[in-house]
Structure 1
């Protein structure tokens, strides 16, 4: 009888509590095989070095051209929220404390419009460097049923207990930039990390616990390329943007690591009593986004789900026990992940596989790409004027930032926030051995092309640019 073969002889990577924040962040994988580290360095780490050496003149040029943040008019502000991944922050559930704050505006609400809050209280524990300021804000917006745009009604600043309206002049403009700063930090350090770090548990356990000829292993393995080392470097490296050591030229965040890590905590552990910050719980379906971004993401998710439905039907019965053990291991680490008793019920296995593959490719890559289309001067990372404390406050636009702030941001954007695909989703090969599974792979790739060709909404990212795994 042939013994099953494992990628690392069952001595491979495994999740553990996060070293930097064991009770507030997703499980981490810190013991990574050397060959994975080397592969990451030559394909991704070396790119970081190259960009540091050669991109800095362009970052200087960008900062010299415009060394401050733009003042966004109301339409630009709303469009920037609605047509990018920032739409993830639109929450139609208005909690009681915010109903009280926005009582006057909600009393006059239009029956044909849906009202949303965008809550940026994740900023409340960020401690800025000397001479810089942060503010936690909440924004009230609405969308008419016959329109594809938002309307902004009010912004509340929690630190100064100030409610501002579009008629409040410069104080309103300043409040919008503090709110957009909150949106920037929330997408980079609270919401987007959910696409990264919880999936390291699945990555490590799949590589260590499943035989390499198991269908689930074959299906997931291509989507794990580069990811463990990349995520570990983000969380644990002292040159990471999250560590934010100011001796590096690409560290553009406004404060030290301790405060920044509270943003990661707000995304994974949630904020109690705040519906905008639920605690992480595994779901086979993507979280709903109240914009066309949701349509784009779901079109791709359904293509993955059609594929995994077919694959699961072709899993040999002698592989099921290993899959149940795999699910048990993961469920111990990821809240809500179905355990071995449940994983084969209904479409749970298919849904889990589709969610994993979709997340590590389409969802992650498109977040980066769409965010990267926003001009950096419209996404403040540092503010050097305080938030308004009265409706009559004024400020000098040029005082919002200094040259060094925009320079660091421009270099950080190139290294970490912009997309740079190494291996493409459309080139995936699952190395299936049976004609049935090979046919399913062919059909899947054709299905992806049809999704790209007939996307009913804005194409947030071309299929040919989408990475197969987390590579940036």
Structure 2
């Protein structure tokens, strides 16, 4: 997908407008009305208008949410155990769910204040400001758009969703698709959403595991060949059943992208964030390179994993929770992203180096070129750090204890490994994270139903497909709020605004080269549908 890139001036103007929902949120908190109230009157109005099917206050939360805070209080957790001589934020095991990623549960007050001021208030204000339009659209506008095979392929292979393409077909895949494949196996790829769990879907919601087969074209594009939905295989010749199967694939893309894969960018980086702030002296060259990319993240991620109102847990007591899974299903999906699925290359176990950029896709080339620019920058700076620096070795040892694959102090100085490790972190929290959101959020939600309410085509083969029945008004309303609050980019500080305050001429020259590289990449990828340096957040900020 391509688009006309927004100018830097318009981007800054848009950021200024983000203060409006923050102001509304502040008023809501002060008056204890709107989204700041436990049972907002707005929800009753939405029920009367037919937007909500029932008052969210009647929904029951999963037991694991009982221990989590609802309002502004921090989560209650045991103290972390940093190494001797370190007094500061430190990673520890999560308390929300034993199989989640390590967490940073005790934050410096400034981290919490940043989150409350810039993000939590925005959320509260957006619930109020965005609800009227979302309600109108849910009741009046089409909730699902028709699409053909070309648009289906474009959505899945020309956007950030292309990262889910997998070149390795399992034996089960080859057997299932044997009648639809011709020529070389290397010419085929799949998008595998077999991690979808129908048994963990919300009542009344359908969710199906799918595997989609694509044929790679010579122009780096793809042609969809077939879709396997459980044990049934559908092709374009299957009419309405094929059309419905495509929507189940796109629904799976939501869960895979936002709950299974995207957390790999957020939560392991929190370990590096906290350890860097607590273990590195403020004037150390490594700290000067890392710390500009750490603000706004820890408070955000703590609220995501350890707050009762988090969109992640999908409590139906909130109006912005749009995912198709129960809270238990969400936890299973996050865990799947961390531990993987044995025997399935589409679901690898998390590893720090596990993110690969497929240069046969536009998004893969975009990410790789940015990572190359970061590596050139970090090599120039790391060349000024003495080999065997004990501070860096302790820093690496501390991170490697919590992040699988991160090099420890004994190996971090081998070759360019230090520069590569830092570049991987910087790329993840800036380009990969913002690129994910920017491209994904640009897809109209009417193409991507998050909830489906008709039986899958392997159970009931439809003679025709009524798009109006796929998604309810409440489903679409929730999806709009969720998209506006959590998926659409909300940059507080951009990558091109970062200044590193290096003191050595060589490090300053590396930073200048990096700024030049940013301008070159912005020009190269203009109109691509992927963000420019002034649209990329300098850290994980949303």
Deviation, 1:389, is 2.2
Q: 3-state DSSP class of the match of 1:220?
A: helix
Q: Is the 8 A contact 1:372 1:419 kept in 2?
A: yes
1:13 maps to what in 2?
89
What SS is found at the alignment partner of 1:57? Answer: helix
Per the TM alignment, residue 117 of structure 1 is displaced from its structure 2 partner at its CA by 1.0
The question of 1:375 aligning with 2:455 is answered: no
**Structure-1 separation of matches of 2:207 and 2:153:** 21
Cα deviation, residue 224, structure 1:
0.8
Q: Following the alignment from structure 2 to structure 1, what is the Cα–Cα distance between the partners of residues 357 and 400?
A: 20
Hey, what's the Cα distance between the residues in 2 that align with 1:37 and 1:18?
A: 18
Q: Is the 8 A contact 1:268 1:279 kept in 2?
A: yes
- Where does residue 427 of structure 2 map in the other structure? 358
User: 1:366-392: per-residue Cα shift (whole Å, max 9, x none)?
Assistant: 110000110001111111111112684
What aligned pairs does 1:222-301 form with structure 2 within 5 A after superposition?
A: 222-283=292-353, 286-288=356-358, 290-301=360-371
CA–CA distance in 1 between the matches of 2:249 and 2:211? 7
Distance 1:111 1:99, change over 3 A: closer
| TM-score scaled by length of structure 1 | 0.93
- Consecutive aligned runs of 4 or more in structure 1 exceeding 6 Å deviation: none
Structure 2 residue 149 is the aligned partner of structure 1 residue 74: yes
Aligned position for 1:444: 514
What do residues 153-211 of structure 1 show as CA deviations (whole Å, max 9, x unaligned)?
A: 111111xx211111111111111100110111100111111111111111111111111
Are the equivalent residues in 1 in contact too, given 2:198–2:207 (CA < 8 A)? no
Counterpart for residue 227 of structure 2: 155
- Kindly indicate whether the alpha-carbon contact (under 8 Å) linking 2:437 and 2:487 is maintained by their aligned counterparts in 1: yes
Is structure 2 residue 287 aligned with structure 1 residue 210?
no
* 1:28 maps onto 2:103 in alignment: yes
Aligned to 1:4: none
CA 1:126 to 1:357, structure 2 compared with 1: closer, same or farther past 3 Å?
farther
- Note the C-alpha offset of 1:457: 8.7
Pair 424,27 (structure 1): closer, same or farther in 2 beyond 3 Å: same
TM-score by length of 2: 0.81
1:287–1:148 distance in 2 versus 1, CA, 3 Å: closer
1:44 is displaced (CA, Å) by 1.8
Q: How does 1:97-112 map to 2 (within 5 A)?
A: 97-106=172-181, 109-111=182-184
Aligned equivalents of 1:439, 1:430: Cα separation in 2: 11
> Tell me, what secondary structure is at the counterpart of 1:151?
strand
Partner Cα separation in structure 2 for residue 155 and residue 170 of structure 1 = 13
Give 1:397's match in structure 2, choosing from 451, 461, 467: 467
Structure-2 separation of matches of 1:256 and 1:390: 22
Alignment partners' CA distance in 2, 1:59 and 1:457: 28
Over aligned residue pairs, what C-alpha RMSD do you find? 1.9
Q: CA deviation at 1:54?
A: 0.8
Q: Partner of 1:385 in structure 2?
A: 454
Q: Aligned equivalents of 1:397 and 1:144: distance in 2? A: 30
Deviating more after overlay: 294-303 vs 11-20: 11-20
| Runs of 5+ unmatched residues, structure 1 | 1-8
Change (3 A) 1:301 1:93: same
Deviation at 1:278, TM superposition (A): 0.6
- How many corresponding residue pairs? 457
- The Cα shift of 1:238 comes to 0.9
Partner of 2:216: 143
Tell me if structure 2 keeps the 8 A contact 1:304–1:444: yes
CA deviation digits over 1:229-260, x for unaligned, max 9?
11111112111111111121101112321101
Is 1:130 aligned to residue 192 of structure 2? no
